[in-house]
């Protein structure tokens, strides 16, 4: 039985995953890795495949983008609840690759193959969110985006020829005109409920979204906490200026941006609705309430040597 099980989304990265699979396999063989391959055929299929793989392989590898990695993560967490454990590996051939970045995993597949061969383990936290299209819960590795950030992701997903950070940046410029009026939301965490007009609420286990926006520049996926980035209502010109700050992780200098840490929180729409994503995957387009918590030391991953 193979030690590594590759779960490949051939459509990831606009078809890049399918195109690169032969090259990836050639690299893995040159490194002497014992592996087998299964391909996804539909949304959420990787969850089922990963849950099955955890019973048979020691390391389950997501080959795709953030969506594929998130589904594999969900499958491994489900398997863990049934008593089957496997480590998570990621070979990045997607658009943003933010989940891998936050975990200290190489964001190009060639380095990722070497990383798998080195087999350096790291135990990280996993987030869980309830609400929207997932009342029974969905796991995430990198982060939750609510409001402006989520709409940016929805817009970027429609682009056929713009990928990575450039695609997200163009989508952000468009979203300034699509999603401007911030909903009134109620945030509840650490016994400090508050109502505010929030343009965006980012709940991070990792550090980056959109291939280059540093929502939590000091975020660590192994500290037992979620890092918050809360943006209040600002004018359209100021949103543009803030976008540049987010690329540098300096947005907290602005009085409209707040940070914080917590282990659990809820976000409720008092006026308006909550568009939201988890690791770039749609949670809801018109949600009412989301509850989020962190599961400390939840899963082993294969990461870079020296990843913090």
pLDDT greater than 60 at residue 242:
yes
Q: How confident is the model at residue 152 (pLDDT cuts 50, 70, 90)?
A: confident
Lowest-confidence pick of 63-72, 96-105, 175-184, 286-295: 175-184
State phi, psi for 68 to the nearest 5 degrees. Answer: -65, -45
The pLDDT, as a whole number, for residue 95 is 80
pLDDT category at 191 given cuts 50, 70, 90 is confident
Average pLDDT over residues 73-90: 96
What pLDDT does 180 receive? 63
Question: DSSP letters of 111-135?
Answer: HHHHHHHHT-EEEEEEEEEEETTEE
Rounded distance between C-alpha atoms, residue 84 and residue 285, angstroms = 34
Rounded CA separation 175/126 (Å): 29
Fold for the domain defined by 130-296: Tumour Suppressor Smad4 (2.60.200)
Mean pLDDT of the chain: 91
- The reported pLDDT for the residue numbered 176 is 78
Q: Spell out the domain ranges in the chain.
A: 4-119, 130-296
* Domain boundaries 4-119, corresponding CATH code: 3.40.50.10330
What's the rounded mean pLDDT across residues 29-33?
96
Topology match between the domains 4-119 and 130-296: no
Residue-wise pLDDT tens digits, 34-54 = 999 999 999 999 999 999 999
User: What mean pLDDT comes out for the span 96-118?
Assistant: 94
Nearest to 113 by CA among 11, 31, 1, 19: 31
Q: Where do the H-state alpha helices sit in 161-305?
A: 164-178, 236-248
Q: Which residue's entry shows tokens 């749609």?
A: 282
Q: Residue 234's pLDDT is what? A: 87
């Amino acid at each position: 039985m193979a030690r590594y099980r590759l779960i490949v989304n051939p459509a990831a990265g606009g078809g890049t995953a399918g195109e690169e699979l032969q090259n990836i396999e050639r690299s893995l063989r040159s490194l002497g890795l014992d592996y087998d391959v299964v391909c996804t055929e539909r949304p959420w299929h990787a969850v089922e495949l990963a849950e099955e793989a955890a019973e048979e392989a020691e390391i389950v590898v997501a080959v795709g983008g953030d969506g594929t990695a998130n589904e594999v993560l969900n499958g491994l967490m489900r398997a863990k609840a049934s008593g089957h454990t496997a480590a998570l590996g990621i070979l990045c051939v997607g658009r943003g690759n933010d989940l891998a970045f936050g975990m200290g995993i190489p964001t190009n597949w060639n380095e990722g193959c070497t990383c798998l061969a080195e087999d350096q383990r790291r135990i990280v936290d996993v987030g869980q969110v309830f609400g929207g299209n997932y009342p029974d819960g969905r796991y995430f590795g990198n982060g939750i985006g609510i409001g402006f950030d989520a709409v940016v992701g929805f817009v970027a997903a429609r682009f056929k020829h713009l990928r990575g950070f450039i695609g997200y940046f163009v989508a952000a410029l468009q979203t300034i005109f699509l999603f401007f009026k911030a909903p009134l939301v109620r945030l509840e965490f650490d016994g400090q409920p508050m109502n505010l007009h929030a343009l965006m609420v980012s709940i991070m286990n990792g550090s980056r979204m959109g291939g280059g926006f540093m929502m939590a520049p000091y975020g660590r996926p192994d500290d037992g906490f979620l890092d918050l980035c809360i943006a209040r209502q600002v004018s359209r010109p100021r949103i543009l200026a803030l976008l540049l700050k987010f690329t540098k992780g300096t947005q907290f200098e602005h009085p409209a941006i707040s940070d914080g840490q917590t282990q659990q929180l809820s976000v409720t729409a008092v006026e308006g609705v909550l568009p939201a994503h988890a690791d770039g995957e749609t949670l809801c387009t018109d949600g009412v309430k989301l509850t989020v918590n962190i599961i400390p030391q939840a899963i082993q991953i294969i990461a870079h040597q020296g990843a913090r």
